Structure 1
Amino acid sequence: MSATPEPASADTTSDDQDVLYEVRGHAAWITINRPHRRNAMSRRTVEQLTEAFVEAGEDPDVYAVVITGTGDKAFCAGGDMKEMDSIARSGKQIHVPMTGRHRALFEVMLETYKPVIAAINGHAIAGGCEIVLSADVRIAVAGATIGLTEARRGMGANLGSVLLPRLVPRAVAMDLLYTARTIPVEEAQQLGLVNRVVPREVFAEEVQRYVDEILANSPVSLRRYKEMATKSWGLPLASALRLNVGPNPYLSEDRVEGVRAFLEKRAPAWTNR
């Protein structure tokens, strides 16, 4: 059984596409599609990933987003080293984080105000690990590893060096950054970086089951949670409680429907309004 759910639409499987995009139900599935390079990210891959997250964020029929990789070898092996070396040999400079048109990917992920689930189908290394860190929930296949290995290559882990110390104790984060070691997802789960570790033979089913569990809830509430949690991060409690960003579920049609469905003992029919 494939670890990654296969796209249903024929036009999403083109060899020309580094990233596959498909909406199934109310979930957008974004798949890094470079298995021959262990799903490493070229400049084009980064551009296509950014575009995919922008599209998912703007689509009112998308209530949640899943990011995964093609195959069972790697979720994403980070930046494409062959491309980086080719650029350097040509006398040009690779892109620098937070500059130019490449600055946006991780920010776009963090600011996609819908649940973002990383379905980690294989190893998530360097930039691949940073994609994982930018997601809200992380479900990993057993036996995979994750790590920020940039120090071994003279890179900077710009996102990881900022975000990782906010997700785990600082000493743990600095240890992982300084040593550039990869860790099993089972250890990452103990640290709180990974939510669930699932055997490969049931990975696809478990990811879909979890997505369906999220989609059973009001998309208005989901967007509210994501935007409040993101924009209140680091604020004092009194300020965060008064931030009031995102759609207001208390004034929404979904709130009316949710209460009525409960009283009528039926499943709610959400309208995302």
Structure 2
Amino acid sequence: MGETVLYERTGHVATITYNRPEVLNAVNGRLRQELNAAWDRFLGDDDAWVGILTGAGRAFCAGADMADGAGSVGTFEGTFWEKPTINSFESGLELFKPVIAAVNGHCLGYGFTAALACDFLIASDRATFGFPEVRLGVPTIVGAITLPRRVAWADAMELLLTGERVDAERAKQMGLVWRVVPHDDLMAEAHALAERLVASAPLAVRATKEVAVRTRNISWVEAVRFGETMRLVAGATEDATEGMTARAEGRTPDWQAR
């Protein structure tokens, strides 16, 4: 993909890696651009069914590179603001393929926001999590929107307003982390989960995730109507026919994402 972000696909699993280990994968302007391009590539790759996001070296992502204002924080008329882009995964890119965060170390600020955007968060026992922005005199924005939707209010405010870090076990207790695993087993665990996910029909998986995402804040009747519409759309695919045929014939389905 580039020098600061690596993109590798093996089978139907794409791995996106922050690749500035010398600065703990801090996000500068170039990394941000290459990361957005990587997500765009994943979104458009019909053969990439599941994504894994991780970091090179001893950090997942230590947040914005304070030496480079083109990272995730800029200035506008004397005040600080975050600059989301239309293809920014952490700021709400509509991506219905499942994504796994494999958090291998420090996961702070921008990196923490990206991890929260993933469907599964598997953490190394060496991982730490935090939003240090308030200790630097700037507010957390996207993280302040997403974090209270994931954990209890007081737990969210503890992280957002103190700027302190928590370890992987504390993050799991809060409900931020799905699993904590020994550091050396992290990527094996992430890939094992990815292989479980690609065993399912990819279009049905995306339709199911889209229903889950879009129906969170609408009425029950609207949610069911939307879900049933998605069922009709997914049911008309070649994969839906293949799934039923494979079941009748007692064999493993051969999904084509069509």
CA distance in 2: counterparts of 1:112 and 1:149, whole angstroms: 27
For 2:20, the equivalent position in structure 1 comes to 34
Of 31-40 and 142-151, deviating more is 142-151
| Structure 2 CA distance for partners of 1:22 and 1:237, relative to 1, 3 Å | same
For 2:239, the equivalent position in structure 1 comes to 254
User: 1:233 is aligned with what amino acid?
Assistant: R
1:67 and 2:50 correspond: no
SS of the equivalent of 1:82 reads: coil
Q: Deviations over 1:173-222 (max 9, x none)?
A: 11221111111111111222111111012222111111111111110111
User: 1:122 is aligned with what amino acid?
Assistant: G
User: 1:239 is aligned with what amino acid?
Assistant: E
CA distance in 1: counterparts of 2:70 and 2:93, whole angstroms: 29
CA distance in 2: counterparts of 1:130 and 1:190, whole angstroms: 18
In the TM superposition, 1:217-232 aligns within 5 A as 217-232=200-215
1:181 and 2:164 correspond: yes
Of 57-66 and 109-118, deviating more is 109-118
TM-score, length-normalised on structure 2?
A: 0.89
CA distance in 1: counterparts of 2:29 and 2:80, whole angstroms: 9
User: 2:242 is aligned with what amino acid?
Assistant: E
1:79 and 2:67 correspond: no
Asked whether the equivalents of residues 128 and 165 of structure 2 are also in contact (C-alpha less than 8 Å), the reply is: yes
CA distance in 1: counterparts of 2:117 and 2:70, whole angstroms: 26
* Structure holding more strand per residue: 2
SS of the equivalent of 2:82 reads: coil
Pairwise CA distance, 1:20: 0.5
For 1:200, the equivalent position in structure 2 comes to 183
User: 2:236 is aligned with what amino acid?
Assistant: L
Asked whether the equivalents of residues 28 and 70 of structure 2 are also in contact (C-alpha less than 8 Å), the reply is: no
SS of the equivalent of 1:81 reads: coil
User: 1:66 is aligned with what amino acid?
Assistant: I
Pairwise CA distance, 1:143: 2.1
For 1:43, the equivalent position in structure 2 comes to 29
1:18 and 2:1 correspond: no
Q: Deviations over 1:76-96 (max 9, x none)?
A: 00000122399x9xxx98983
TM-score, length-normalised on structure 1?
A: 0.85
Asked whether the equivalents of residues 39 and 89 of structure 2 are also in contact (C-alpha less than 8 Å), the reply is: no
1:267 and 2:252 correspond: yes
| Structure 2 CA distance for partners of 1:256 and 1:85, relative to 1, 3 Å | closer
For 1:3, the equivalent position in structure 2 comes to none
Asked whether the equivalents of residues 109 and 135 of structure 1 are also in contact (C-alpha less than 8 Å), the reply is: no
CA distance in 1: counterparts of 2:254 and 2:187, whole angstroms: 26
Percent identical among aligned pairs is 37
Q: Deviations over 1:95-149 (max 9, x none)?
A: 83246xx464135664112001111111101111001111111111112111111
For 2:198, the equivalent position in structure 1 comes to 215
CA distance in 2: counterparts of 1:129 and 1:19, whole angstroms: 17
CA distance in 2: counterparts of 1:252 and 1:85, whole angstroms: 43
Unpaired segments of 5 or more residues in structure 2?
none
For 1:9, the equivalent position in structure 2 comes to none
SS of the equivalent of 1:242 reads: helix
Asked whether the equivalents of residues 189 and 197 of structure 1 are also in contact (C-alpha less than 8 Å), the reply is: yes
SS of the equivalent of 1:84 reads: coil
For 2:136, the equivalent position in structure 1 comes to 153
- Compute the RMSD of aligned alpha carbons: 2.5
For 1:7, the equivalent position in structure 2 comes to none
CA distance in 2: counterparts of 1:233 and 1:177, whole angstroms: 23
1:236 and 2:219 correspond: yes
Spell out structure 1 runs of 4+ moving beyond 6 A.
92-95
1:52 and 2:38 correspond: yes
CA distance in 2: counterparts of 1:104 and 1:153, whole angstroms: 27
For 2:111, the equivalent position in structure 1 comes to 128
CA distance in 1: counterparts of 2:100 and 2:79, whole angstroms: 29
